[in-house]
Each structure stands twice: as C-alpha cells, then as structure tokens.
Amino acid sequence: MDRHGYLSVGDLMNHRYCARITWFAYVLGMKQRGTVKTEHGREQHDRWAAREQNRWREGASVRARSKLMSAELSSERLRLRGKVDALVAADGDLAVYEVKMGEPPARPWPEQLVQLAAYALLLEERHGRLVNRGYLHYLGGDVVREVAIREADKRIVRNLVADMQAVVGTEDMPGRAPATKCLDCVYRKVCV
Ligand code: SF4
C-alpha cells in the first residue's frame, strides 16, 4: 500500500495466492521484496523492455498502431495501481500487453487472466472505454497470444480488492493456504 492508500496489482496477485500474505505485508508491516525466482524473472523482463523500446516487431504482430511501454495506471475507485508492460492501440481499441517468462501453456493460467483483467479495469477508468482485449507474450518461444478479457475475471478483481481492504481494515489474520502453496512462499518461516 503506498502513501496514498493504494494497493498494487502485485499485491492483488499475492492476495489471490494467499490472503495471509496481505496480512503479513500490511497489518504486520512485513513486506518482502521477492524471491530469487522473481529477481531472475525481472532481469529477463528488463532485457525484453530494453530491446522493445526500439522495436515494433511484437506490436506489428498484433496489428498495433502504437505501443506505450511500461504504462503506469491507477484507479481512484478501486484504490489500485499498477504498471503494465505495454499498452497497444489495435483496430481502434486499447489493449493491455503483458510479458511472461517461459513457454506458452495450452491455455493462459487463471492468474494471468486475472492480472490482465486488473490492468483492463485500471485502463478503463483512465480512458472511459471498455477494455476487453489483452495480449500475453511468452518469452519462451517468443509467442504472442490474444486473450479476451471477461467480465467474470473483472469481477474476481473487484472481489479481491474488497477482500484485501477487509483484511487491512479488520486486521484479522486470514486462514492459511493449502500446504502445497507454502513451499514456495517467502513467509513460510514465520507463518507455518
Ligand atoms: S506460508 Fe502458506 S499460509 Fe503462510 S502466507 Fe505463505 S502461503 Fe499463506
């Protein structure tokens, strides 16, 4: 949560993983920077962004007329902010564009769809237009997939935001996640 009381899309994704992470971060003030895995991902991502600053190839592959890199977005209504990898204007619409590490899965993972929906809601508030399309660029294989952003995923985002605010507001510790999730969690040493 920043000094204006805004949570981030990253917080939202952590909360979706386990609500107790929000409690550690914003009730106890134990916010973690990330894991070795996320640091490695950030390096790969930064290399992509540097390359892309001067290149339009991926934009051309999604018929984009223009592309804005690393766009900061925020919603006063949701008290949510985030930085999307790129915004593209394609076929008269605006769309969000996110880069992912690894090979493309058979279908986008649910968390990737929720993340796109979160950025779509932020973009909608900024531009006053519906955003129903996104792109996922998998660096493994250099594959770009067009994705429909569904109202159901936007609803999940709104519910997650409300749930996060409830955890912060009540300060009640949420129940723990299934044990398999704890194996990869940076809070596991202090939590379970
Ligand atoms: S260790 Fe498990 S229960 Fe605790 S915050 Fe992490 S995922 Fe949640």
Between 3.50.50.60, 3.30.450.40, 3.90.320.10, 3.10.450.50, what CATH number should domain 7-191 receive? 3.90.320.10
pLDDT in tens, 8-34: 999 999 999 999 999 999 999 998 776
Which residue's alpha carbon is nearest to atom 4 within ligand 1? 191
CA 24–ligand 1 middle distance (angstroms): 9
pLDDT band at 1 (very low <50, low <70, confident <90, very high): confident
Residue 135: enclosing H or E segment and its boundaries?
Answer: strand 133-138
Confidence at residue 119, expressed as pLDDT on a 0 to 100 scale: 98
As a whole number of angstroms, the distance between CA 48 and CA 59 comes to 13
Tell me the C-alpha to C-alpha distance, in Å, between residue 121 and each of 54, 151, 155, 169.
28, 10, 10, 23
167 lines ligand 1 (CB under 6 A): no
Cα within 13 Å of Cα(47), Cβ side: 8
pLDDT band at 43 (very low <50, low <70, confident <90, very high): confident
Nearest to 176 by CA among 163, 168, 185: 185
Confidence at residue 49, expressed as pLDDT on a 0 to 100 scale: 74
Residue of 173, 182, 184, 186 best suited for mutating to test ligand 1, as the one with most atoms within 8 Å of CB: 182
181 lines ligand 1 (CB under 6 A): yes
As a whole number of angstroms, the distance between CA 188 and CA 178 comes to 12
As a whole number of angstroms, the distance between CA 17 and CA 111 comes to 9
Whether residue 107 has pLDDT greater than 90:
yes
State pTM to two decimals.
0.89
176 lines ligand 1 (CB under 6 A): yes
Whether residue 36 has pLDDT greater than 50:
no
Residue of 187, 189, 190 best suited for mutating to test ligand 1, as the one with most atoms within 8 Å of CB: 187
Which distant-in-sequence residues (6+ apart) come within 8 Å of 161 by Cβ? 7, 12, 78, 79, 80
Q: What is the mean pLDDT of residues 179-190?
A: 91
Q: What percent of the chain has pLDDT over 70?
A: 88
182 lines ligand 1 (CB under 6 A): yes
- Please provide residue 141's backbone torsions phi and psi, each rounded to the nearest 5 degrees: 90, -10
Residue of 167, 186, 192 best suited for mutating to test ligand 1, as the one with most atoms within 8 Å of CB: 192
Contact between 16 and 179 (Cβ < 8 Å): no
Q: What is the mean pLDDT of residues 72-86?
A: 95
